[in-house]
Amino acid sequence: MRWSDATRQDSTRGRAIRMSWSLLWLFFLTPVVHDLATEGYGPVRLTVGSIGLLVVVVCYVALVFGGVGWFGLFGGVEAVLRRTLDTERAQLGACLLLWAVAVGLILTFDDAWLGLMVYVAVSIGAGLRFPRSMWGILGCVVSGVGLGVLLGAAGDDVLVLAFVTVLTGGVMIGVRRLLETLVELREAREIVARLSANEERLRMARDLHDVLGHSLSLITLKSELAGRFLPEHVDRAAEQVADIERVGRQALVDVREAVSGYRRPTFAVELAGARIAARAVGIELTVVPEQWPQCPDPEAEAVLAWALREAVTNTMRHSGARRCTVRLETGAMWRLDIRDDGRGATGGEGNGLTGLRERFALADGTIEVGGGEYGRGFGLTASVPVLPGKTAERRIAPGAPGATR
């Protein structure tokens, strides 16, 4: 299973659970439905009651699913509800309609229908913004208490109704505000991601200008000089061509070094990806220590980050593990240890592990594969020497072939 598939599956499951939980509250309409079906009401009252209940349910679903908009399980239905209730005026109108129908049904029948006020409060909390929702819920409490007294309901029942109305409505206000905050946070993250991408593009543009600008200008100038020296001064033209070759070689080295820096993985990026993937597939990921120090050797950090990516990918995709532990030990040799409690290695080493060994061999490091720390599973230990200030690419030394003057 790919990480993206697992993420979509988890997200869909979560939305289904939340939607089912909200629809579960409709179960408390059972006393009302039972009263309507068993009290022997005439055809007119039976029809009015049935239509009224249908309106209550439709308004409740529309305001909760369309107003809050936190499910997305049935995208078309939610889209229709959002288009219908896309303004405060439409949401307020739906709440007033729901309140009027509920009051009418309570007056038409008896105090057994007072529980409809709870649905009105929940719908107002979901459909209206604060503080308008607070005043709407207060109106539901006053209406419910007044109707209870008017219909001669027991005092305890009226007090319980008032308490439940305030509680459920207040909870829904909190839920709506929480979800609005989450939406704002998601939008902020998207903005940060776009700004980061723009900053990275600007950095690449600056680097390419710094790396190639001078070299290309020098190549252009020397090419013009070589053209002017020909055909009378062949020797001087040959000197310019030799300079062009040396500058071009150095520019090639500089570009390779810059590109290597762009592609080099880091601890921060790989740890963030590992945490997201583990959360998506339901694996308990433990990172020791919680905050990793900055590695003074970019090349060592890069190969260790590759090992982290390979091991975590194996755990998430193939192991069937429930727990995974990642440990980092620092010193002259940095040691990365990743272990899970999954099925363990089932065959020979794959291409990923073979390529990882080759990377570590080039960095004078080692890769060891073994069992997990929970009595089963897969374990990988990667070690590499850390040399502060070491560069990932070797520049051409002065005086060497291809060096600039």
3-state secondary structure 331-348: CCEEEEEEEECCCCCCCC
Phi-psi map region of 354: left, alpha, beta (phi>0 left; psi -120 to 50 alpha): alpha
What integer pLDDT is reported at residue 136 of this predicted model? 92
What integer pLDDT is reported at residue 187 of this predicted model? 83
**What fold does the segment set 199-263 form as a domain?**
1.20.5
Beta bridge partners of 323: 284
Name the one residue in this structure whose structure tokens are 């903005």.
191
Question: What is the tally of helices (H) and strands (E) in the chain?
Answer: 12, 5
Q: State the architecture of 267-385 in CATH terms.
A: 2-Layer Sandwich (3.30)
- Answer whether 140's CB lies under 8 Å from 117's CB: yes
Sign of CA dihedral 75, 77, 78, 84: positive
Sign of CA dihedral 56, 74, 276, 185: negative
CA 337 vs CA 135, 243, 292, 401: distances in Å:
57, 50, 13, 42
- Answer whether 361's CB lies under 8 Å from 329's CB: no
- Residue 189's Cβ-count burial label (10 Å; 0-12, 13-18, 19+) is exposed
Confirm whether 199-263 and 267-385 share one CATH topology: no
Beta bridge partners of 381: 337, 368
pLDDT by residue for the chain (405 residues), tens digit each?
Answer: 332 333 334 445 555 665 666 677 777 788 888 888 888 888 888 898 899 999 888 888 878 876 544 444 444 445 555 555 567 788 888 889 999 999 999 998 888 888 899 989 998 988 888 888 899 999 999 999 999 999 888 888 899 989 999 999 999 898 888 888 887 888 888 888 788 778 878 877 777 777 777 788 888 888 888 888 888 888 888 888 888 888 888 888 777 777 666 667 788 888 888 887 788 777 889 999 888 888 888 889 989 998 998 888 888 776 678 889 999 999 889 999 999 888 776 656 667 788 888 889 988 999 998 876 666 788 899 999 998 755 444 333 333 333 333
Interior angle at CA 386, CA 380 and CA 392, nearest 5:
100
- Answer whether 105's CB lies under 8 Å from 117's CB: no
What integer pLDDT is reported at residue 328 of this predicted model? 93
How far apart CA 126 and CA 368 sit, in angstroms, is 55
Non-local (6+) Cβ contacts of 314 within 8 A are 352, 378
**Closest by CA position to 127, among listed 156, 185, 84:** 84
Q: What is the pTM of this model?
A: 0.50
**Closest by CA position to 118, among listed 54, 52, 34, 56:** 56
What integer pLDDT is reported at residue 281 of this predicted model? 75
Q: Where are the domains of the chain?
A: 7-189, 199-263, 267-385
How far apart CA 334 and CA 342 sit, in angstroms, is 26
